[in-house]
Chains A and B, each alone.
Chain A
Amino acid sequence: MSASYREVNYALRPAKSVERKMLVDVFQRLSAFDDIHNYRYIGFGSIYFSDFLLFHRTLGFTKMLSIENTRTTDEQDRIKLNRPYGFIETEFGHSSTVLSKIDFGNDRTIGWLDYDSKFSKSIIDDLSTFLSKAKSGSVYLASYNIQDIAPPPGVTVGRTPEERLEIAIGEENKIYLPSNWKTLLVGKIRAKLFAAILKNKADEILIRRNGPLEEQNKLNIYPIINILYRDNAQMATFGFVIYSNREKELCDNANFLSLPFAKSTVDDYFEITLPNLTFREIRHLDQNFRSQTEQPWLPLPQSDADKYWKLYRYFPHFVETEL
């Protein structure tokens, strides 16, 4: 994992901030399973801990763990210094090692594995570890860079997108490729490819895990999120809920799909596109809430207004201020 917090100041990523707020809405619905503040939250907080801050304030989690892959004590100290709340625990090391060490106990767990890097084998491995232990009512989310960049001239490996994909996911994971994978190699639809790989892997893990379990305890996955967004690099977030047969009704009651950005299939994604609007324009649109479909009196392209309405509740507001 690269230390991308040194490249992009996380606090200023508008699309990411929209995504974060959307996830608050997702997590709130988990109260269909259990008291939401009983959940454990696991994430990669970096030094900003933006997700930790938001989720504790809105949802009240007190069991929170941040994993960072840094071995030097200086960086570890910096991360610990920046924890917004004292109860946030930190574990340092590769996500695959830390995840395999954590005892999930009886806690339902939300894991938002927000990788900086491109999609790779280790993301698939981490899914495997998380899913081998997660209890019913848990949520898995992974965010990753979906870009595909050709290597510089002179490098002999990875000259085609197919080759680069095979190198990234590793020989043993090729069985999880969807049958149409060759059509999903270029552009934004790569988000569909990676979502499909993760879902196929998840299905297989559960088949193995379910084998010796009683019928009521067998687990299923319910995909709810496939979000495309871009602040710097083109990123995607794929996520699903895990539920047992016994708790199927609770999952249905949570009604995740009523959220406007939810997607229950890997063949589709919701793209966050943010129009640039001034405060005055936003206020005007909000005041004319009822006429979302036409804005004849504003000198704004309709498409910008449409983009706004698609995610107006999550729209970020940035102000410069002296603190």
Chain B
Amino acid sequence: MAQEDPLVVHASPTKEFFITILIRDIKLIDAICDLIDNAVDGARRLRPAANLKDLFIEIDASKDSFIISDNCGGIEVTVARDYAFRFGRTKETPNSPHSIGRFGVGMKRAFFKIGSIINIESVAETSRFKMNIDVNKWISPDNKDKDGREQWDFSFAECQEGIENPVKNRQTIVSITSLHPTIAAEFSAPTFKNKLIAAIESAHSKAIENGLRIRVGETDLSLRQISLLNSDSIKPQFTTTHYQKDKSVSVRIYAGISDQVLADCGWYVFCNDRLILQADRSQLTGWDSESGDIDTPRAHYQFARFRGYVFFDSDDAGELPWNTMKNGVDEESSIYQATRLLMINAMRPIIDFLNSLDNELQADTSPLKTIVDNAKPIQLKDVEQRQTFLGPTAAQIQQTAPKEGRISYTAANEKLARAKELLNVTSNKAVGEATFYYFLRANGDE
């Protein structure tokens, strides 16, 4: 070993620290979704025309092992050697158009999160390889390179380049064993499989719609159709905006109403057709400030029909407003901030309509409810371009304003008792009514 330069201050990361930080905040299900994302990207590269029929991804998770296999194109040796196993992307890392994979960290993060022995087999267009990673050996202080420094590289167990593999043979199989105890426990939990299925179905509804078959254990995932109510009197908003600054980004906003299910109400945000935000009803999507004037719990239920869908699309995934875990929006993204203004505008007429619908409950007739009941759900792909949400106009219905409003306040019990005495009543409600009408009469009203 060469003499150490006394001026050198060591600043390189330790592998242990690195892994701890990497896997700390990602949830298991999100990590598995990252692996699915990579496979979906592969599928899209294989089929640029978007028909993904006959492509599949299969997952098996048990307390002993985690296996994910797919026939979505495999990983080329050159990609594995120079890019796929580095932590982070370099400028040279090739970009696939309209991709989901973006940060260069999802695959490794998922592997380390799940277990310590990782086997990868890949057959791609012009190469094939096998690789074994034993994380404990890799981390070990004995793992040094020829200069005596920490060894960060992995190595292939086998690899073959310059061959031709037909499409039907191309595949990737990853199997992870020596699972971390908490992970093994999660895999054994009876609800785990259903949660994972729900997450993947939401995240990749588009890919599933395009024919990709995804299976978890024995279950094939099904398509979650997004639909909005539509009729002559009710039409969802559908607008498209294009930004052309450095790279081109297009933003589609759909907004309308659907079933009255509170858990499903809110904004859904997609980046390159990958769902990253689900049923959001917070400041993040401009929601709070719109319904903010009302504070009874029942009032929030009246918005349960609202659905908003925002799709950000770009050939350069780096332009899109997602966070590194792909489970949320990067709030500081300028495109997202500009779009949020449009989302707030989209919401207003719908909230207004839902308020009117709710007010009808106090009226004698319910023409709005009839109109809503007669509207049919249509899929997003069938929604026509429309600047704003259309709800029934006053001309179509005899709109009656609610005739009564509720007044409610508290008063010190002593004063309350005195008022009851003076008014000769016994209930609090009667005190409220009597004092209200007393005031009006004293001012000449009846």
Contacts and interface: CB of A to CB of B under 8 A. Distances in A.
B335 A94 contact: no
A131 B389 CA distance: 20
B348 A211 contact: no
Nearest to A208: B337
A96 B348 contact: yes
A214 B244 contact: yes
A145 B401 CA distance: 27
B245 A212 contact: yes
Interface string A60-77: 000000000001110010
Contacts of A245: none
Nearest to A132: B341
Contacts of A72: 401
- Sort chain A's interface into a size bin: 20 to 34
Given A101-B349, A212-B245, A73 B399 contact: yes
Contacts of A170: 292
Nearest to A209: B338
Interface in B337-374: 337-338, 340-342, 344-349, 352
Contacts of A205: 341
A115 B335 CA distance: 33
A211 B387 contact: no
A211 B338 contact: yes
Interface residues of B, number: 27
A97 B348 contact: yes
Interface in B378-411: 387-389, 394, 398-399, 401
B289 A132 contact: no
A132 B337 contact: no
Contacts of A97: 348-349, 352
Given A172-B289, A209-B338, A132 B348 contact: no
A100 interface: yes
B160 interface: no
Nearest to A211: B334
Contacts, number: 69
A210 B289 CA distance: 22
Contact of B387 (A92, A103, A213): A103
Given A101-B388, A213-B243, A128 B341 contact: yes
A100 B345 contact: yes
Contact of B394 (A71, A129, A132, A207): A71
B50 to A, nearest CB: 26
B341 A94 contact: no
B417 interface: no
A133 B345 contact: yes
Contacts of B349: 97, 100-101
Interface in B244-301: 244-245, 249, 289, 292
Given A100-B388, A208-B340, A212-B243, A73 B348 contact: no
Nearest to B244: A214
B362 to A, nearest CB: 14
A93 interface: yes
A309 B249 CA distance: 56
A187 B63 CA distance: 73
A73 B393 CA distance: 12
Contacts of A213: 243, 245, 338
B335 A211 contact: yes
Nearest to B288: A172
Contacts of A133: 345
Contacts of B389: 101
Nearest to A71: B401
B415 to A, nearest CB: 10
A226 B338 CA distance: 28
A205 B401 CA distance: 34
Interface centre among A72, A129, A212, A213 (most CB of B within 10 A): A212
Nearest to B336: A211
Nearest to B359: A71
B117 to A, nearest CB: 45
A211 B337 contact: yes
Contacts of B388: 100-103
A132 B401 contact: no
A105 to B, nearest CB: 9
A148 to B, nearest CB: 21
Contacts of A209: 338, 341
8 contacts: A71-B399, A76-B394, A97-B348, A100-B345, A128-B344, A133-B345, A211-B338, A213-B243
Interface of A: 71-73, 76, 92-94, 96-97, 100-103, 125, 128-129, 132-133, 170, 172, 205, 207-214
Given A102-B388, A212-B249, 16 more contacts: A100-B347, A100-B348, A100-B349, A128-B344, A132-B344, A133-B345, A170-B292, A172-B292, A207-B337, A209-B341, A211-B335, A212-B243, A212-B245, A212-B338, A213-B243, A213-B245
The 8 closest A-B pairs by CB, nearest first: A211-B334, A100-B348, A208-B337, A132-B341, A212-B243, A100-B345, A103-B387, A97-B352
